[in-house]
Amino acid sequence: MSVTAEEAWVRQAKAQSALSKLFDWKPFLVFVCMLPAAGLLLVFLTYPLGLGIWLAFTDTTIGRSGRWVGLENFEFMLEDPIWWNAVFYSVFYTGVATVLKFGLGLWLALLLNNHLPFKSMLRAIILLPWIVPTVLTAVAFWWIYNPQFSIISWVFIELGLRETNIDFINTAWPARWSLIAANVWRGIPFVAISLLAGLQTISPSLYEAALLDGSTGWQRFRYITFPMLLPILAIVMTFSIIFTFTDFQLVYAITRGGPVNSTHLLATLAFQRGIPGGQLGEGAAIAVSMIPFLVFATLFSYFALARRKWQQGESND
């Protein structure tokens, strides 16, 4: 008796192994696909973070395992004027640099959104400060700020505007502003290109309708551009705040926290205490103190996006 193709298929389906059924089960397949990424996050993110938090409550030093000391590191930290100076400069550095990067980045994005000659080449050139490795940028700025070989000082002296070189990094406030300038120069391309991508998603018909209604340029920006850019602004600002607040390479390569600890960020101070200073527990406690600031930046992004959903009539699930 011949077997039809349909019957053969039914028999083959019935003979499916338990392993095949398991891989046909969608939740298991999703779990298997997520497992490599979860493993990488566990090894390279969760474990170092957990170890750092544990070390913050111990008196561990390089070469010696520590003992549990509770909040002793944090109590010492709160009494340390150098830590408070690092908190002040971290907030000041992040706030000023973020405002400047977003002001200049938004202006640049609006400019590049227009029809300009060689627009593609200009975008590629603008990305260069962001593409160049941070250490190379820091070395370049170190030469620019060098008290003896600074090209800025040379130009001012040649123009007769000064008789001596400018001291950029050997006094506190000039060094602080010099680091902010270097961070702004490096961060503007990220902000500009991200906001430019958002600008190009706004429908031109909105601007055409506003022009027909007799709106001004400021009104079009206030009631069309800014509200439509708000979700992207929130995300880009969050990343910018995190990148700026946790900056290490730029500051450490140019000033190493000097002069007299005046340009230490929390990241550079944690490294100095933990690695060259050998006090791993104290350095970890300083690093852990950065977490509340980073959580605040993340919450800012969430609530900004939630507000935008509410404006569009969506739920905030």
**For residue 1, pLDDT beyond 60:** no
SS3 call for 58: strand
CA 72-78-82 angle, 5° bins: 120
Domain count, the chain: 1
Within a domain: 177? yes
Full residue range of the structural domain in which residue 249 is found: 72-311
**For residue 37, pLDDT beyond 70:** yes
Q: What would you report as the CA-atom Rg of the chain, rounded to the nearest whole angstrom?
A: 27
The CA distance from 282 to 57, in Å, is 9
pLDDT band at 14; cut points 50, 70, 90: low
**For residue 120, pLDDT beyond 70:** yes
Within a domain: 23? no
268 within 8 A of 255, measured Cβ to Cβ: no
pLDDT band at 251; cut points 50, 70, 90: very high
242 within 8 A of 297, measured Cβ to Cβ: yes
Write out the two tokens for 259. Answer: 């002069």
The domain that holds 217 is classified in CATH as: 1.10.3720.10
The CA distance from 180 to 255, in Å, is 12
Within a domain: 167? yes
225 within 8 A of 199, measured Cβ to Cβ: yes
pLDDT score, position 309: 52
SS3 call for 64: strand
Within a domain: 183? yes
**Close Cβ partners of 69 (under 8 Å, ≥ 6 residues apart):** 57, 58, 59, 281
Cα-based distances in Å from 304 to 58, 95, 235 = 38, 18, 9
**For residue 241, pLDDT beyond 70:** yes
The CA distance from 74 to 239, in Å, is 27
The CA distance from 104 to 98, in Å, is 10
pLDDT score, position 289: 92
Average pLDDT, the chain: 85
Give this prediction's pTM: 0.84
Return the sign of the alpha-carbon dihedral for residues 254, 260, 262, 265. Answer: positive
Within a domain: 91? yes
Which of 38-47, 119-128, 301-310 shows the highest mean pLDDT? 38-47
Within a domain: 35? no
Within a domain: 28? no
Within a domain: 44? no
